[in-house]
Amino acid sequence: MDTIQSYPYDAVLGDIGIINGWIITPNGAAPLQGAQWIVADRTWTYSYLPTSSVVLGLLLLCIPFIGWILAIPVMASQATAVTGYVEVTVLTRGLIHLTQIPVATVGQIWSVYRMVQGLRVI
């Protein structure tokens, strides 16, 4: 079975493809002009202490004085991660389709927003 990525689309958002002024989805096809796009950010960001920081901090604690001072900022360092998905809904003449695009970085979230904004202009 062919997937939507196997065709030369102008743009692809999850399982929504845009080609020659048409929106192609598993629910059907409709003209791009006049389509309404809704984007919902369903992600969350969290901070965590990486394992490498814990191990390095414990090793530095084995070194008297200087190691103790260096261990404090190492143990206090945190990493930030993004998880979740961005929902994109398209509403147009007789077609409603929602797709969920998994994301792992803030850049991927903004990439989806920019692509939808470009499609809204058309």
Q: What is the pLDDT of residue 8?
A: 84
Residue 35's pLDDT is what? 93
pLDDT of residue 101: 96
Give the phi and the psi of residue 41 in degrees, each rounded to 5: -85, 110
Q: How many CB atoms are located within 10 Å of the residue 88 CB?
A: 23
| 79-93 average pLDDT score | 94
Query: Scanning the structure block, which residue is given the tokens 């389709």?
Result: 97
- Does the pLDDT of residue 3 top 80, yes or no? no
Confidence label for 9 from pLDDT (cuts 50, 70 and 90): confident
Amino acid identity of residue 38, one-letter, is: I
CB atoms within 10 A of CB 58: 12
Q: Is-contact 104 83, C-beta < 8 A? A: yes
d(CA 35, CA 37): 6
16 within 8 A of 23, measured Cβ to Cβ: yes
34: left (phi over 0), alpha (psi -120 to 50) or beta: left
Residue 1 is predicted with a pLDDT of 45
- The residues spanned by each domain of the chain are 11-120
What pLDDT sits at residue 100?
A: 97
pLDDT in tens, 24-55: 999 999 999 999 999 999 999 999 999 999 99
